[in-house]
Homo-oligomer: A and B are copies of this chain.
Amino acid sequence: MPVYADPVGGVTVRAPELYTWTAALVERLGTPADIAADVATILVSSDRRGIASHGTARLPRYAAQIERGKMDPSARPEQIRARPAMVLFDAHNGWGHHAGRVAVDATIAGARAAGSFTAVVRDSNHFGIAGWYALRIADAGLVGISLTNSSPLVAPTRGLDPMLGSNPIAVAAPAGQYDHFCLDMATSTIPRGRIEVAARRGEQLQPSWAIDRDGLPALTPQEAFEGALLPLGGCEESGGYKGYGLTLLVDILTGVLSGSTPGPLIAPLFSAEHGALDLGQTFMAIDPEALDEPGAFEKRMEHEIELLVGARTAPNAPGRVLIPGEPEAAAERRSDERGISLDQGHLESLAELAERYELPLPETTPL
């Protein structure tokens, strides 16, 4: 996931205060306190990790969905099927964050017992950053995988219209003395959130990011919103069919496997006209201790990381080789030191909610 640079004219807010405010707001939307705690934890974690697109910036849209009756803020996930290494939950159109947290905890417990485990969730909603769930598995000492489908935003290779979500793949693994390895990537070249941030900040787009409604490269956020994102790799000639394959793969492992709505028929993102999203989410965990002594996997991870960060770099490289998750972990430490940065558009959208729900925003400091 892209870690966004500090916005011009932005502010900072302390993470614990933003968490408390977010949890209180989510409760006012009709959410039981324990569910609201999961939602706030995961949204603020995204902001702390510098992923401005997937955190509290989405609150106005979640609120609108609930206000329109598109999502049930009080629903609790129900276990439908259980096997020794697999479970299916029905989220009953509740918060995806809470269903995901519950499913991930089942995955961790199941993998400790069986060596590996898969949990599948149907009838869910957006769950924030996929990486949070994979990291929770890594925190427990296991290798974690987290997948979700989402509203159509990406054109399949050769296609003109958005048919599949930017369906992220997140994988995390504990790495001993180093930050967890955490690859958390949209299978589009960029996530839709990156275009939302560009729109808020008045930035142009790169030509491999999206096509306009005529299938030509989209250069402004507006053209991209009217067209479709491109899968990782861009067009067919530059390997975009692989990114399309990954996007479709995630839809198969989540929506098709869980029996949720197939990707091409999922309602548009935060649409007022359509019904519930009915997303699918899948979590997998592998316990390295099923194969080896405790700590042996982490030692090997440390060695792998040391080999890579010590690699010879290309003459024009801006720095040493990075490990996936390093920039986000550094952003998290910075956010915890000096506060989470919010751009003006983000701040104004939260202020609007604060006023409407009579819940004053925590104190902010100009950047």
* Residues of A participating in the B interface, judged by any CB pair closer than 8 Å: 80-81, 83-88, 111, 113-118, 120, 143, 155-161, 163, 171, 173, 181, 183, 185, 189-190, 206, 208, 211, 214-215, 232-234, 236-239, 241-246, 248-249, 251-253, 256-259, 262-265, 284, 286-288, 290-292, 296-297, 300-301, 303-304, 307-308, 311-324
Contacts and interface: CB of A to CB of B under 8 A. Distances in A.
Contacts of A232: 232-233, 239, 242-243
A79 to B, nearest CB: 12
Contacts of A324: 241, 244-245, 248-249
Interface of A is mostly: mixed
A238 B242 contact: no
Contact of A256 (B248, B297, B314): B297
Contacts of A316: 215
A290 B80 CA distance: 11
Q: Number of copies of this chain in the oligomer? A: 2
Contacts of A297: 256-257
Nearest to A171: B249
Given A117-B85, A264-B307, A320-B158, A291 B258 contact: yes
A116 B85 contact: yes
Nearest to A316: B215
B291 A259 contact: yes
A84 B286 contact: no
Contacts of A157: 321-322
